[in-house]
């Protein structure tokens, strides 16, 4: 699976959009971009995933560049409960055995 | 209802002891996992089971033995516990594109 690069940390004001970048310059054509987050003392939580089109669900939006070498997770209206470590992961969707390779992630702190 | 539940949530035990962590999922998934999160917060897969068969074993010491009595359960037994086994252990289950994690079991070996 391709390696990803994320900033170590970022702050966001409550109510504002949080834009979390991720670089994955060695991504392969059949690899998807996944985002998970881990709130303190909880298990990781799936957020969203995509291949090349932008995706949106009730939690977030995922913007993938045309060359697929980077992506941005957008939390449209950050709340204090969004404070967590956010992980960007690339993997082949058909790999149903679920070998997610977590990096260090981005520690997001949402402030009042 | 909790989708992936694991017990105990906290476990403090002495070196050399044998302990087990239990995991159950009520999502009807065929695939279950054990992940380990160490003190540096890195999450790493340990085992993956599909339909009760071992699929992934990430060079975990033989002291760790997963047991899957049925598709809904994947238990982790650890023999001869060492200080370095102290970590948070997460059970998980999945369909193809989404993995659901339990809340974790905090293991402290003293």
pLDDT in tens, chain A (112 residues): 668 999 999 999 999 999 999 999 999 888 899 999 999 999 999 999 999 989 999 999 999 999 999 999 999 999 999 999 999 998 876 555 667 888 899 999 999 9
Is 60 exceeded by the pLDDT of residue B94?
Answer: yes
User: Across the interface, do A46 and B99 touch by the CB < 8 Å criterion?
Assistant: yes
Q: Is B96–A102 a contact, with Cβ atoms under 8 angstroms apart?
A: no
- In contact, A97 and B50? CB cutoff 8 Å: yes
The candidate with the shortest Cα–Cα distance to B48, out of A105, A101, A49, is A101
Contacts of A66 (CB under 8 A, 6+ apart): none
| 3-state class (DSSP) for residue B86 | coil
Cβ–Cβ gap A43/B33 under 8 Å = no
Structure tokens at A85: 């470590």
- To the nearest whole Å, the CA of A52 is away from the closest chain B CA by 15
DSSP structure class, residue A42: S
The span from the CA of B52 to the CA of B61, in Å, is: 20
The tokens of A103 are what?
Answer: 């990096």
Band of the pLDDT at B1, cuts 50, 70, 90? Answer: low
Q: Is the dihedral of CA B43, A80, B95, A4 positive or negative?
A: negative
Q: What is the pLDDT of residues B54-90, one digit of tens each?
A: 887 887 899 999 999 999 999 999 999 999 999 999 9
pLDDT at A100: 81
pLDDT score at B57: 81
């Amino acid at each position: 699976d391709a390696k990803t690069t994320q900033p170590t940390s970022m702050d966001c004001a409550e109510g504002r959009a949080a834009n979390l970048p991720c670089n994955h310059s060695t991504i392969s054509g059949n690899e998807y971009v996944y985002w998970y987050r881990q709130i303190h003392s909880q298990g990781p939580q799936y957020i969203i995933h995509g291949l090349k089109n932008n995706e949106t669900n009730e939690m977030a939006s995922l913007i993938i560049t045309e060359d697929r070498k980077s992506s941005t997770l957008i939390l449209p209206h950050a709340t204090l409960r969004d404070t967590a470590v956010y992980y960007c992961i690339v993997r082949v969707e058909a790999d149903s055995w679920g070998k997610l390779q977590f990096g260090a992630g981005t520690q997001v702190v949402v402030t009042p | 209802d909790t989708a992936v539940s694991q017990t105990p949530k906290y476990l403090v035990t002495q070196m050399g002891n044998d302990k087990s962590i239990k995991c159950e999922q009520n999502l009807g998934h065929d695939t279950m996992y054990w992940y380990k999160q160490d003190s540096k917060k890195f999450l790493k897969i340990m085992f993956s089971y599909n339909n009760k068969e071992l699929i992934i074993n990430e060079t975990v010491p033989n002291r760790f033995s997963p047991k899957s009595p049925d598709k809904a359960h994947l238990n982790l037994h650890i023999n001869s516990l060492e200080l370095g086994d102290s970590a948070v252990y997460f059970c998980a289950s999945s369909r193809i594109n989404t993995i659901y994690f339990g809340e974790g079991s905090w293991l402290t070996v003293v």
